Amino acid sequence: MANIRNLKKDINYLTSELVSDCYLYMYFHKDKNHDEVVGIISEAVELRNNLMHKTNHPENKDDKKLLKSHFNNLYDEMLESVDVLFNQLSELTKK
């Protein structure tokens, strides 16, 4: 991770792509799994808000090593969480 600005951009980009894919799924499958897709969208928005809050308000601002570790862990958490949500949406397409 190069800097905080890029982390924020990645958070926004990945969550917006997930929400876009959910809306595309809802467009092509009008009445199929509507509640599940809305749940995925809600989780994505909640994830985005939590990640942005953690990015904007790190706990240990004074210790550079802990701060770097915090942002690296945050980046990993973002990737894992978005991957789980994309997999949930992918499973809905198989039903």
Each residue's pLDDT tens digit, 63-92 = 899 999 999 999 999 999 999 999 999 999
Structural contact between residues 40 and 88, judged by C-beta atoms closer than 8 angstroms: yes
Residue with tokens 């915090």: 70
- Length of the chain in terms of residues written: 95
- pTM exceeding the 0.75 threshold for the entire prediction: yes
Do residues 13 and 68 touch, judged by C-beta distance below 8 A?
no
